[in-house]
Amino acid sequence: MEVSANIPKGWICPCCTVKQPRQDNTNTPVKNINVESSPDLDSIQTGTFAEVGQTELTSPDVNSIESELLSEMRAFRKDLQTVRNEMSQLRNDILTLREDMLSCNKKIALVCENVENIEGRLVLLEAENRNVSELESTVLQLQQELNDRDQEMMANDIEIVGIPERADENLLNLVTLVSSKIGMSFMNEEIVDMYRGGPRRLLVNEKNEIRPRPIVIRFTRRSIKERVLKEARVRRSISTADVFPGEVKPIYINERLTKRNKMIFGKAKDEGRKRNWKFIWSKNGKIYVREREGKQFYHLRKMEDVAKIFGGTGSTGTP
């Protein structure tokens, strides 16, 4: 590029002019602004300071403000002290509550431990109760089996009840006399044994008489026993007058029962009498009851059957 030789002194190119720092341009005229009509700066500043001087606070106002501030600070301090006291009381209450919680936790732990011990004991007791129940069931079963066996041993036995007891009595003559009254006779060889059974017992009456013990007769065969009982049922009018002179009392011929079966039979007769049951009997050592003709009969094996049958329903059997 060719440079002209006529360049004015102090000329600076536009790129360098932009990079130079700016200078005071106060005298540069501004468009549409009349400098002569602008207010004097000194008068503006003086007026401003005069207005500020008019808002200065007086001494009574300062004292009143200080008094209010002091009152508010005292009230705030009092409220703060109250809050501190309440916080202190709250802290104490929290500590007391914590101690109570710890105490409750200890007691709950102790109660839980006791409950666990009790539950353990209950488990043991339940196991023991099961064992006891099994033992009781086994004992009852064994008692029933023993009773059945004892009753089976009495399969050939009868009892004659109601014959007065004397010291010089002859049982064979008494039995022969009673058997003749029911239309039966049997040889001595058909009798295995004969005796008065059971202990002597007093009658509950004014005379304090001794209740005669039953005469027990054991035959050689069951068929003889059955024949005697059959004839005795037909002729029920046997009394002491047929044997001894004096007071007339009935004489009964029954099949012999174990002590347990006698208790069941006696209880069944009492309950049947109260409820007007017509038939209560024993056959082959088994006890049966029937309310009346046409009704079903029941077999009594234990004392609980009496309450069950007379209070509701029970098991039936074959007589």
Element (H, E) at 219: strand 215-219
Is there a single domain that holds both residue 170 and residue 240? yes
The whole domain housing 103 covers: 62-153
Closest CA to 310 of 301, 298, 294: 298
d(CA 53, CA 49): 6
Is there a single domain that holds both residue 219 and residue 277? no
Last residue of a domain, one of 256, 275, 304: 256
| Of the listed ranges 80-84, 206-210, 221-225, the one predicted with least confidence | 206-210
Identity of the residue numbered 107: K
| Of the listed ranges 6-20, 213-227, 262-276, the one predicted with least confidence | 6-20
Amino acid 114: pLDDT: 92
pLDDT band at 49 (very low <50, low <70, confident <90, very high): very low
Is there a single domain that holds both residue 147 and residue 210? no
**Residue 181 burial (10 A CB sphere; 0-12, 13-18, 19+):** middle
Is there a single domain that holds both residue 147 and residue 165? no
Pair 252, 230: CB distance under 8 Å: no
Last residue of a domain, one of 256, 278, 305: 256
| Share of residues in the chain with pLDDT > 70 (%) | 78
| Of the listed ranges 99-103, 170-174, 180-184, 289-293, the one predicted with least confidence | 180-184
Which residues face 255 on adjacent strands? Answer: 158
pLDDT band at 43 (very low <50, low <70, confident <90, very high): very low
- Please state whether the predicted TM-score (pTM) of the whole model is above 0.85: no
Last residue of a domain, one of 107, 126, 153: 153
Element (H, E) at 298: strand 297-300
Instruction: Report, as an integer, the average pLDDT of 56-80.
Output: 82
Residue 25, domain member (yes or no): no
Residue 61 or 171, more confident: 171
Residue 192 or 54, more confident: 192
Residue 41, domain member (yes or no): no
Q: Is the pLDDT of residue 42 over 60?
A: no
Which residues face 210 on adjacent strands? Answer: 202
Residue 2, domain member (yes or no): no
Give me the residue label for tokens 């047929």: 242
d(CA 151, CA 286): 9
Is there a single domain that holds both residue 133 and residue 176? no
